Amino acid sequence: MREPTAPGGCRWRAVLVALCAVLAACAPLPQRAGVPTVWWPSPNLGERKPQYVILHYTGSDRAERALRALTDPAREVSAHYLVRRDGLIYQLVDERARAWHAGESRWGADTDLNSSSLGVEIDNDGREPFPESQVAALLALLRDIAARHRIPVANYLGHGDVAPRRKEDPGRLFPWRQLAQHGFGLWCDPPLPEPPVTFDVQLGLRAFGYDTGDLRAATHVFKLRFLPDDLTAASDDRMRATLYCLLQAAGRAGRSTASPAPAPPPASAGR
Ligand SMILES: [Zn+2]
């Protein structure tokens, strides 16, 4: 005699129970304390949001080589994104997770930039210009990031900015001025305002965000980014005026965030 078949509703319930069990197995477990605690979850929470975007060059001649390094457990380096020379964008790490791209770093009072930033690697060996297709893809990615995260305009930084003793990337050929024209990072063009005679470069660099523990290194990375045609070690009137202008621009920008849409190009100084 045949066993009676389960009514349709029961079969579906069994399938749903199995499905729920599978989904529960896939969902990430909450990170819990090591001591005994009562798990009493609150619905009042949100994702932690990045406050910075840190830009890098890979220092590599091929994206495949960089991809291997950025996914090799032994190398212990990663980034959220990698932008290839032809404009193809790889995402390697969930934006909610902490990627390992900045290392020991500082900007203003913020240390450990890995915890508060998204890392973007741009495939470039440090000696070549950045192709148009790559810059266009990077700008599209930054617009996309800006549409989802409230990153202050001044907080689009280079690796060298936050680690001046160790790093120079994304290097002197990176188009910072072009990025600033789209609202990502600050920039100053002549005519520059005259700083007061009491204006001190070291204090100014520190107020802008640089770690001036090694003033020579801080001056070097500042010039790589803002005065790439003058990489002499000394600070001069042009550097003083540029820095003074940038501090004024930072004051105006405050915590204003980048617009997801392209911003109009700056008329002159201080965007
Ligand atoms: Zn880097």
**Ligand 1: centre distance to CA 253 (Å):** 26
Q: Give 103 or 9, the one with higher predicted confidence.
A: 103
**Which domains are assigned to the chain?**
38-253 (3.40.80.10)
Q: What is the pLDDT of residues 180-225, one digit of tens each?
A: 999 999 999 999 999 999 999 999 999 999 999 999 999 999 999 9
**Ligand 1: centre distance to CA 5 (Å):** 64
Residues 49, 150 contacting (CB under 8 angstroms): yes
Residues 189, 268 contacting (CB under 8 angstroms): yes
**Ligand 1: centre distance to CA 52 (Å):** 14
Residues 79, 117 contacting (CB under 8 angstroms): no
Residues 158, 221 contacting (CB under 8 angstroms): yes
Q: What are phi and psi of 110, to 5 degrees?
A: -90, 120
pTM of this structure: 0.83
Give every strand in the sheet of 117-122, ordered side by side: 89-91, 81-83, 117-122, 52-57, 156-158
Residues 86, 71 contacting (CB under 8 angstroms): no
Two structure tokens written together for 134: 């790559």
Question: What is the per-residue pLDDT for 265?
Answer: 45
**Ligand 1: centre distance to CA 213 (Å):** 20
**What single string gives the DSSP state of each residue in 48-94?**
----EEEEEE---S-HHHHHHHHT-TTT----SEEE-TTS-EEE-S-
**Ligand 1: centre distance to CA 57 (Å):** 6
**Ligand 1: centre distance to CA 2 (Å):** 69
Residues 197, 237 contacting (CB under 8 angstroms): no
The angle that helices 215-226 and 237-253 make with each other, rounded to 10 degrees, is 80
Average per-residue pLDDT for the chain? 88
Rounded CA separation 166/106 (Å):
12
**Ligand 1: centre distance to CA 80 (Å):** 12
Q: What is the pLDDT of residues 253-271, one digit of tens each?
A: 876 666 554 444 443 333 3
**Residues 26-42, mean pLDDT to the nearest whole number:** 84
**Residue 47: how many other CB atoms lie within 10 Å:** 8
The angle that helices 201-208 and 237-253 make with each other, rounded to 10 degrees, is 30
Catalytic residues, which ones? 121
Most confident of 7-11, 24-28, 31-35: 31-35
Nearest Cα to 63, choosing from 84, 42, 81?
Answer: 84
- For the cut 60, the answer to whether the pLDDT of residue 23 exceeds it is no
**Residue 94: how many other CB atoms lie within 10 Å:** 9
Q: What is the pLDDT of residues 58-97, one digit of tens each?
A: 999 999 999 999 999 999 999 999 999 999 999 999 999 9
